[in-house]
Chain A
């Protein structure tokens, strides 16, 4: 299956600002997950939103999901230099077993 797309591909902001990343996907989903990857490392699970949910919060993270538009957004508020990383959305398709399909990712750079 095709991967989802994320935009922007790269984002550079100042510390303290908010960062918003968007993800679009193509299939009907069971849930959508956001992951973070520091350079040269494995991925860390950030947050999961189910298909029947519209918004979810976890600390400085806010995720929205619009299944009619097949899109999701990840908002990081009051960003810190330590938030610099790549962020990926991943979808678990309805009836797709246990496989995740990852988006293309957004590289976030938070500058001091």
Chain B
């Protein structure tokens, strides 16, 4: 498999501030990482596909200027929630797809609460 970490695990911030979430692939060089968000008791919604060295591919309805993704190395992708508002409060999870079948390995998630 692959070991994926996320930092921070929890963050509480005031409305209007920006929050950066890191996703690290600890034992695998990942050219592609995925960012999801999950509301309580709901499924995962793919936000964007993060590509090392190039621009991220965003899903329909996801504002790229709101959710900035940077994948500067093969082991690190970051998601920055800019000017966060209470409706951005959610569980954000990243993953790495390692095999040709795209079996994905997930980070532990980051709980964002915007006051």
Chain B contact residues, CB within 8 Å of chain A: 1, 4, 6, 32, 34, 41-46, 49, 91, 93, 95, 97, 101-109, 111
Contacts and interface: CB of A to CB of B under 8 A. Distances in A.
> Which of A40, A88, A107 has the most chain B CB atoms inside 10 A of its CB?
A40
Interface in A65-112: 88, 90, 92, 98-105, 107
A3 B38 CA distance: 13
A54 interface: no
Interface in A1-57: 3, 30-31, 33, 35, 40-45, 48, 50
B80 to A, nearest CB: 20
A102 B102 CA distance: 13
A10 B41 CA distance: 11
Nearest to B107: A42
A104 B41 CA distance: 9
Please list the 6 inter-chain residue pairs (A to B) with the smallest Cβ-Cβ separation, ordered nearest first.
A42-B106, A43-B106, A42-B108, A102-B44, A98-B102, A102-B43
A51 B68 CA distance: 35
30 contacts: A30-B101, A31-B101, A33-B104, A40-B109, A41-B108, A41-B109, A42-B95, A42-B107, A42-B108, A43-B95, A43-B104, A43-B106, A45-B1, A45-B103, A45-B104, A50-B101, A88-B44, A92-B102, A98-B49, A98-B97, A98-B102, A99-B102, A100-B46, A100-B104, A102-B43, A102-B45, A103-B43, A104-B43, A105-B43, A107-B41
Main secondary structure of the interface of A (DSSP, over half): strand
Contacts, number: 60
A100 B97 CA distance: 10
Interface residues of A, number: 25
Contact of A104 (B32, B42, B49): B42
Contacts of B49: 98-99
